[in-house]
Amino acid sequence: MKVGRVIGSVVSTINHEFFDGERLLIVRLVDQGRDTASYVICTDVVGAGADETVLILDEGTSARQIHGVDTGPIRSVVVGIVDDIHEQAHTP
Amino acid sequence: MKVGRVIGSVVSTINHEFFDGERLLIVRLVDQGRDTASYVICTDVVGAGADETVLILDEGTSARQIHGVDTGPIRSVVVGIVDDIHEQAHTP
Amino acid sequence: MKVGRVIGSVVSTINHEFFDGERLLIVRLVDQGRDTASYVICTDVVGAGADETVLILDEGTSARQIHGVDTGPIRSVVVGIVDDIHEQAHTP
Amino acid sequence: MKVGRVIGSVVSTINHEFFDGERLLIVRLVDQGRDTASYVICTDVVGAGADETVLILDEGTSARQIHGVDTGPIRSVVVGIVDDIHEQAHTP
Amino acid sequence: MKVGRVIGSVVSTINHEFFDGERLLIVRLVDQGRDTASYVICTDVVGAGADETVLILDEGTSARQIHGVDTGPIRSVVVGIVDDIHEQAHTP
């Protein structure tokens, strides 16, 4: 999993019943509290809002289990809102 | 998923029945509306045209579900045309 | 697999029974004993503590086998504590 | 899929019957007609020659379908020779 | 697959029967004969020694087939020792 920050959403029609009513969040990946150069478009099972720090799971099989479906064309999903992070400083 | 922009197409004969009549789009990945250094060759289920902003799904199992096939040698597919993006500015 | 160093932990509620009681470790990837710019959030089957050097396995099917479960929305897991590394210097 | 250019081949004995008689091509990934810093070792189903521009498919399940086998320890395969590319210039 | 060079080994106890007696090699990825900034920890089916140039296969399903097991928490495996490489110079 990775830590990310919700920075927006995408409106797009996807012709597959799985996406009916699904929000598509833009999540900027975060490292040590700072934005990185990567993002991912995620579905969401926790109702994350703008600017919230979240956990992202990025594997198809896992994403389907989190959504509670056997099939479904998904790979990246917001699985939790981050309540707290305990972390040493990065010493590159 | 990722956001991309259709920048072209590739003509190539692939000796597998799945590709009969399939267009192969070149999609430049986009971040905050700007081109990135990455691209991917995608099949397409939405009829995307040149310069259109699209959503790309990049997992084999998901791609096959989007195409509605049980088997098929595909991994990356254009699943939707992006109608709107709501996004905060990137602060690296 | 990759070598990493445990630099912290994340507190987040994930609404899936697999995660009940699971710790989520932040593991900085390491190369030649030095921190890299990448990290991954892992589950843990060895009770790794802060600052310990560990082995990370990053594939869903493998992660489920390490946890001894048939299903489970996981991909990255700490599988061992590193006792010793024998390594030539890196000559880029 | 990605576009690549065949730049060589590797001779190596792999103790698995799948590889008997298989050529292993070194394919440099290409973007906008220019070499990138990445390459991949591929099997080949189209008889690609040195310096030819090709399409690479990089997923195990897809690679096995392209080779027409149910099992086989492969992931990256040259699936087609590129006849033509229509592409806008990259504006990073 | 990728080409790599064996630069060391890791000693770590992994509580899964698959790893009983398995060596864990540190393999530096190589491009055009030069070390890159990436490495991977691999199992080994060919008895590769220090400094040998090898082929690495990095997919779980393939790795299990190479080891001849139906299950097993592995993803990256040394599948062959490289006997010869024929390669054009890289022109970035």
| Residue A89 binned pLDDT confidence (cut-offs 50, 70, 90) | confident
pLDDT at B4: 98
Mutate to test the interface with B, among A5, A6, A14 (most CBs of B within 10 A): A14
In whole angstroms, give the CA distance from residue B20 to residue B43.
Answer: 12
Interval A7-32 mean pLDDT = 95
D-E contacts (CB, under 8 Å): 85
Looking at the complex, does the CB of residue E29 fall below 8 Å from at least one CB of chain C?
Answer: no
Percent of chain B exceeding pLDDT 70 equals: 97
Interval C35-47 mean pLDDT = 96
pLDDT at A90: 62
Does position C76 have pLDDT exceeding 90, yes or no? yes
* Alpha carbon separation from A78 to A28, A68, B23, B47, C89 (Å, rounded): 12, 14, 32, 29, 39
Does position B85 have pLDDT exceeding 70, yes or no? yes
CB contact under 8 A, B65 and A71: yes
- Whether D87 is covered by a domain: the verdict is no
Does position A27 have pLDDT exceeding 90, yes or no? yes
Q: Determine the distance in angstroms separating the CA of C38 from the nearest CA of chain A, rounded to an integer.
A: 8
Interval D59-70 mean pLDDT = 95
| Residue E90 binned pLDDT confidence (cut-offs 50, 70, 90) | low
In whole angstroms, give the CA distance from residue B64 to residue B77.
Answer: 9
Does position D91 have pLDDT exceeding 70, yes or no? no
Looking at the complex, does the CB of residue C2 fall below 8 Å from at least one CB of chain E?
Answer: yes
Asked if C54 contacts C4 with a C-beta cutoff of 8 angstroms, the reply is yes
In whole angstroms, give the CA distance from residue E8 to residue C35.
Answer: 18
Looking at the complex, does the CB of residue C36 fall below 8 Å from at least one CB of chain A?
Answer: yes
pLDDT at A88: 84
- Whether B12 is covered by a domain: the verdict is yes
pLDDT digits (tens, 9 = 90+) for B17-69: 999 999 999 999 999 999 999 999 999 999 999 999 999 999 999 999 999 99
DSSP helix/strand/coil, E35: strand
Does position B91 have pLDDT exceeding 70, yes or no? no
> Which residues from chain D sit within 8 angstroms of residue B13, using beta carbons?
80-81, 83
What does pLDDT average to over chain C? 94
pLDDT at A11: 96
- Whether B90 is covered by a domain: the verdict is no
CATH code for position B27: 2.40.50.220
pLDDT higher at C36 or D89: C36
Does position A55 have pLDDT exceeding 60, yes or no? yes
pLDDT at B92: 54
- Whether D31 is covered by a domain: the verdict is yes
Interval A49-69 mean pLDDT = 96
Percent of chain E exceeding pLDDT 70 equals: 97
pLDDT at E44: 96
* Alpha carbon separation from A84 to A80, C6, C7, C26 (Å, rounded): 11, 16, 14, 12
Number of domains making up chain B: 1
DSSP helix/strand/coil, E47: coil
Looking at the complex, does the CB of residue D41 fall below 8 Å from at least one CB of chain E?
Answer: yes
Looking at the complex, does the CB of residue E37 fall below 8 Å from at least one CB of chain C?
Answer: yes
| Residue C90 binned pLDDT confidence (cut-offs 50, 70, 90) | low
Does position C89 have pLDDT exceeding 80, yes or no? no
CB contact under 8 A, D14 and E79: yes
- Whether B55 is covered by a domain: the verdict is yes
- Whether A88 is covered by a domain: the verdict is no
| Residue B80 binned pLDDT confidence (cut-offs 50, 70, 90) | very high
CB contact under 8 A, B66 and A16: yes
Report the complex ipTM.
0.93
Asked if A44 contacts A26 with a C-beta cutoff of 8 angstroms, the reply is no
> Which residues from chain E sit within 8 angstroms of residue C61, using beta carbons?
60-61, 73
Interval D69-82 mean pLDDT = 96
* Alpha carbon separation from C56 to A60, B21, C25, E14, E64 (Å, rounded): 20, 43, 11, 11, 18
Does position C91 have pLDDT exceeding 70, yes or no? no
Does position A59 have pLDDT exceeding 80, yes or no? yes
- Whether A87 is covered by a domain: the verdict is no
Interval E68-82 mean pLDDT = 96
CA quadruple A50, A56, A61, A66: dihedral sign: negative
In whole angstroms, give the CA distance from residue E75 to residue E42.
Answer: 8
Looking at the complex, does the CB of residue E78 fall below 8 Å from at least one CB of chain D?
Answer: no
pLDDT at B89: 73
Does position D36 have pLDDT exceeding 90, yes or no? yes
pLDDT at E92: 54
pLDDT digits (tens, 9 = 90+) for D8-28: 999 999 989 999 999 999 999
Decide: pTM greater than 0.90. yes
pLDDT at D89: 73
- Whether C86 is covered by a domain: the verdict is no
Report yes or no on chains E and A touching (3+ CB pairs under 8 A). Answer: no
Which domain range does residue B57 map to? Answer: 2-81
CB contact under 8 A, D16 and E91: no
Q: Which ranges of A3-83 does DSSP label H, i.e. alpha helix?
A: 60-67
